[in-house]
């Protein structure tokens, strides 16, 4: 019942997509997978062929991607170089432990499990696995990921998250694995926090565009 798209399956999908913070929704996904006898592989927990290479690639990609977004992409969108939602982190050492936990469990694991693993599995079952269906799933998941950032980061947050969502969703469509994306997501957000903490947002945003 939970794996299908009857009333129970649709209700489970809707609850997981909107019920609370990402870490809580990720827990619901794992509970759903256990109750519905969905394999871990189906929601993206595929063992990498080489853990060291995957982790290293994820870290380097996450850092480089954040710098590219901050210095190139977001200035082209006319975004404010300062992320005022998280500006309180400037020099705020006391806030770092809780932010680290948020990044690892809610953003890294939570968002990737929900917006990539679970969403791809569910929409893939509904729409199929063809090229057109996969493109549609990438676009829908990226749009939903972007919209989820509106409440705390406004339009600029939506724009950045939607672009990140498109890239991450495309990677997931090609690999079927969450591990590189989880690591990249954590590295991306840690880089963002480091830039804010050391009050470097304006400098990085103006590296190429004055």
Give the integer Cα–Cα distance in Å for 186 and 188. 5
pLDDT at 18: 86
Provide the pLDDT for residue 209.
83
pLDDT at 41: 96
Q: How confident is the model at residue 10 (pLDDT cuts 50, 70, 90)?
A: confident
Torsion sign, CA atoms 2, 161, 163, 51: negative
pLDDT in tens, 91-144: 999 999 999 999 999 999 999 999 999 999 999 999 999 999 999 999 999 999
The pLDDT > 90 percentage for the chain reads: 89
pLDDT in tens, 39-61: 999 999 999 999 999 999 999 99
Q: What is the DSSP string of the chain?
A: --SSSSHHHHHHHHHHHHSSSHHHHHHHHHHHHHHHT--TGGGT-PPPS-HHHHHHHHHHHHHHHHHHIIIIIHHHTT--SS-GGGGGGTT-GGGHHHHHHIIIIIIIIIIIIIIIIIHHHHHHHHH-SSHHHHHHHHHHHHHHHHHTTHHHHHHHHHHHHHHHHHHHHHHHHHH--SHHHHHHHHHHHHHHHHHHHTT-HHHHHTSS--
- The Cα–Cα gap between 121 and 114 comes to 10
- Specify the pTM: 0.95
Whole-number pLDDT of residue 123:
95
Residue 136: partners with Cβ closer than 8 Å, 6 or more residues away:
123, 127
Neighbours of 156 (CB within 10 A): 20
| Mean pLDDT across 167-191 | 98
Is residue 4 over pLDDT 80?
Answer: no
Query: Based on C-alpha coordinates, what's the Rg of the chain?
Result: 17
Report yes or no: 176 and 49 within 8 Å, Cβ to Cβ. no
Tell me the per-residue pLDDT of 74-93, one tens digit each, with 9 for 90 and over. 999 999 999 999 999 999 99
Q: What is the residue extent of each domain of the chain?
A: 7-205
Please tell me the distance from the alpha carbon of residue 169 to that of residue 139, in angstroms, as a whole number: 8
On whether the CB atoms of residues 103 and 89 are closer than 8 A, the answer is no
Contact 16, 122 (CB under 8 A): no
């Amino acid at each position: 019942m939970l794996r299908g798209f009857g009333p129970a399956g649709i209700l489970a999908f809707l609850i997981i997509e909107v019920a609370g913070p990402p870490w809580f929704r990720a827990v619901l996904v794992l509970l759903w997978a256990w109750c519905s006898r969905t394999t871990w592989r189906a929601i993206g927990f595929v063992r990498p062929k080489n853990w060291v290479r995957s982790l290293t690639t994820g870290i380097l990609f996450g850092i480089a991607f954040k710098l590219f977004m901050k210095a190139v992409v977001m200035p082209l969108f006319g975004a404010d170089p300062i992320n005022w939602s998280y500006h309180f982190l400037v020099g705020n050492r006391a806030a770092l432990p809780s932010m680290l936990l948020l990044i690892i469990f809610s953003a890294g694991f939570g968002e990737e499990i929900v917006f990539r693993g679970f969403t791809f599995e569910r929409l893939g079952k509904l729409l199929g696995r063809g090229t057109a269906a996969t493109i549609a799933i990438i676009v829908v998941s990226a749009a939903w990921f972007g919209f989820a950032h509106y409440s705390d980061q406004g339009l600029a947050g939506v724009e950045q998250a939607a672009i990140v969502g498109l890239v991450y969703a495309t990677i997931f469509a090609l690999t079927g694995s969450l591990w590189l994306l989880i690591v990249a997501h954590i590295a991306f957000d840690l880089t963002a926090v480091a830039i804010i903490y050391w009050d470097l947002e304006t400098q990085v945003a103006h590296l190429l565009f004055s």
